[in-house]
Amino acid sequence: MLRLRNVLRPTHGYNVARLVSARYSSTKVVGIDLGTTNSAIAYIKDSNNKNSVEIIENNEGNRTTPSVVAFGKDKKWIVGEAAKRQASINPMNTFYATKRLIGRHFDSSEVKLDIEIMPFKIVPSPDNGQAYLCTTDGNVKSPSEIGSYILDHLKKQAQDYLNEKIDKAVITVPAYFNDSQRQATKDAGKLAGLKVLRVINEPTAAALSFGMDDKSNSGIIAVYDLGGGTFDISILDIEDGVFEVRATNGDTHLGGEDFDNVVVNYIIDSFVKENPEINKNNLLNNNEVIQRVKVAAEKAKIALSHVTETEISIPFITRNKHFLKTLKERELDDMTLHLINRTINPVKKALKDADIDPEDIDDIILVGGMTRMPKIRKIVEQLFNKKPTTTVNPDETVALGAAIQGGVLSGEIKNVLLLDVTPLSLGIETFGGAFSPLIPRNTTVPAKKTEVFSTGVDGQTSVLFKVYQGERGLVRDNKLIGDFVLKGIPPMLKGKPQIFVTFDVDADGIINVTASEKSTGKEQSVTVISNSGLTQDEIKKMVEEGQKNKDMDNKLRSRIELINKADVMISDTERAFEQFREVISLEENYESILKELHTVRETINLYKNNENDFSLDVNNIKRATDTLQNKSLKLFQAASKRQAKLKDTKQ
């Protein structure tokens, strides 16, 4: 058992990140927004100016690239614009929105929904039942592999554009992604030949590109992200460079495509109304027609973000018929209002979870192409009673933020670094079941700390180190995350061995705990990888429990510390009695000190036997120990002199 204090390990601080100064030096690190519908890649153009972060256009001159991968008729993989273009003629081999499947189990409810609505085949992976994709000729690919094709495509475009090798990246993920989804995203990067230096939250990246890395920019930010296929709302608390995602909510099946489908139905209905001889179902089942109508619908939807009415023109929608109609912005607003309204509840829930009123939000950042729609901006403004910020480009902001982080890691930006922090305190169990934290909650990683411990029992030759995370005073209320035994300690009196315990947490949240005994140099360690993880809700609950029980935990901890101290005092006194055995009974205070020793023993026994009785005043232990200490010191000084004299006379 350890008596002193110290140790650690935990999960990655997904929901919290901090900006600190750093000095790194390496080659360019690009920032990649691997989106559900579209992806984007950005870099730092001028290392002296972080505002010079720029999107790299693809070969077709577009600033975002469709996150679409297809297995073509010629049995070759096609990515991006080309894959999207052939979707209507090859729907079962054209994989899109696969980000919704990444790191997810085939049996999960989210995957079940996609199995129903996606035109391509989703299968369970043979080894661990994850959701994989399958082409019509049985070629099975993981969502990470599909993601890697997109990343590789973006990487190559960047290499062509910058004329240099790109092998390092910062990739963004939704704030709600768990360990397995984050790891699968990292795997995608690795498969694409990229070293993924960090995986950062999309809303955090958006806030970075908005300029929230400046320390003076503390505040509460709402990031409203409506893209092509998903809706996310995140509430961020930014204080002194620490980014904390206080709450997230959303809908993984709501986005621009639903708006397009509403317009597609409007076009088909209008067309059939004007041409009653045409069979609607035949039209709906004609993939090629639907694809052309979809393109026209999206075009009209986008146009209506800039003009109040637009003409939808689809020549030869059937053999000899054209479609031509004017669509007004107001009409589009009306027909899609039910979709816009579906974002309201998630926003309200996120605010409630973050325990924040809409008026407390300092800024609203819009992310995702759909947020260009004026009606959406209006509804967001009503929801928060404040105009959203429009200075950042909603399709590009996430990639730009990732590039800023990449620039920091490469050394191109000198004064900021987004780092993860430990979401919970890390420590070890010490004597009496107390939790001794070595690395407090919210410590920026990488972090390293060493503390010295000792044994709690005479002659103890081994120590069991139990590593915990949590905010409570006793280990029984925290989470055990690893343990190991240090053997071969030479038998010594308790408190004598010096055991150095070091917690070393790297930037990816991997924790190495080492214990070494000074006299022998014997060493033992455990590595805890932060991938088992606690969910954000569990972490939140643990922090709340810690706060709620702070007073009680402090009382318990100080009681344990006082008992430990008294225990040590008792053994030290007994040892001294033994040492001065020949002369001690001659000292005048001898009897009264024996009595004090007895009192201390009785007192701590009383507390040990009534662990849950908090009416007992812990100051009684302190008083008894202090009295024993003061009186015995005088006694042993006198006894020591007497013994020395005795020795002299004997000689």
Positions that interact with ligand AMP (CB under 6 A):
35, 37-38, 64, 227-228, 256-257, 298, 301-302, 305, 368-370, 372-373, 395
Measured from the CB atom, the residue of 65 and 573 that comes closer to ligand AMP is 65
Query: What separation, in Å, do the N-terminal and C-terminal C-alpha atoms of the chain show?
Result: 44
At closest approach, how far in Å is the CB of 373 from ligand AMP? 4
At closest approach, how far in Å is the CB of 80 from ligand AMP? 13
DSSP state, 491?
Answer: P
The answer to whether the beta carbons of residues 355 and 235 sit under 8 Å apart is no
DSSP, collapsed to helix, strand or coil, labels residue 600 as helix
Measured from the CB atom, the residue of 237 and 395 that comes closer to ligand AMP is 395
Strand partners, 480: 468
Measured from the CB atom, the residue of 213 and 257 that comes closer to ligand AMP is 257
**Among 114, 179, 187, 202, the one annotated catalytic:** 202
Measured from the CB atom, the residue of 259 and 580 that comes closer to ligand AMP is 259
At closest approach, how far in Å is the CB of 154 from ligand AMP? 14
DSSP, collapsed to helix, strand or coil, labels residue 419 as strand
Alpha carbon distances (Å) from 334 to 427, 510, 543: 57, 51, 44
Measured from the CB atom, the residue of 149 and 468 that comes closer to ligand AMP is 149
Both tokens assigned to 466: 């139990």
Measured from the CB atom, the residue of 375 and 601 that comes closer to ligand AMP is 375
DSSP, collapsed to helix, strand or coil, labels residue 598 as helix
Nearest CA among 517, 493, 514, 497 for reference residue 505: 514
DSSP, collapsed to helix, strand or coil, labels residue 336 as helix
Q: How many residues does the chain have?
A: 651
At closest approach, how far in Å is the CB of 42 from ligand AMP? 14
Nearest CA among 266, 273, 277, 271 for reference residue 333: 266
CA quadruple 640, 643, 649, 651: dihedral, nearest 10: -100
Alpha carbon distances (Å) from 6 to 12, 267, 499: 20, 68, 10
Nearest CA among 436, 430, 445, 380 for reference residue 564: 430
Both tokens assigned to 98: 């696969």
- Which contiguous run of DSSP H or E holds residue 132? strand 131-134
508 is catalytic: no
Pairing of strands 68-71, 242-251: unpaired
d(CA 447, CA 509): 10
Measured from the CB atom, the residue of 298 and 429 that comes closer to ligand AMP is 298
Q: Which residues contact 630 (CB under 8 A, 6 or more apart)?
A: none
Measured from the CB atom, the residue of 228 and 401 that comes closer to ligand AMP is 228
349 is catalytic: no
Residue with the shortest CB distance to ligand AMP: 256
In the chain, the amino acid numbered 204 is: T
At closest approach, how far in Å is the CB of 334 from ligand AMP? 16
At closest approach, how far in Å is the CB of 202 from ligand AMP? 10
187 is catalytic: no
**Among 145, 179, 187, 225, the one annotated catalytic:** 225
At closest approach, how far in Å is the CB of 96 from ligand AMP? 11
**Among 28, 50, 84, 99, the one annotated catalytic:** 99
Q: Please list, residue by residue across 515-532, b when 16 or more beta carbons sit within 10 angstroms of its beta carbon and e when fewer do.
A: bbbeeeeeebebebbbee
54 is catalytic: no
The answer to whether the beta carbons of residues 340 and 199 sit under 8 Å apart is no
The answer to whether the beta carbons of residues 45 and 406 sit under 8 Å apart is no
At closest approach, how far in Å is the CB of 298 from ligand AMP? 5
d(CA 252, CA 175): 13
Active-site residue set:
33, 99, 202, 225
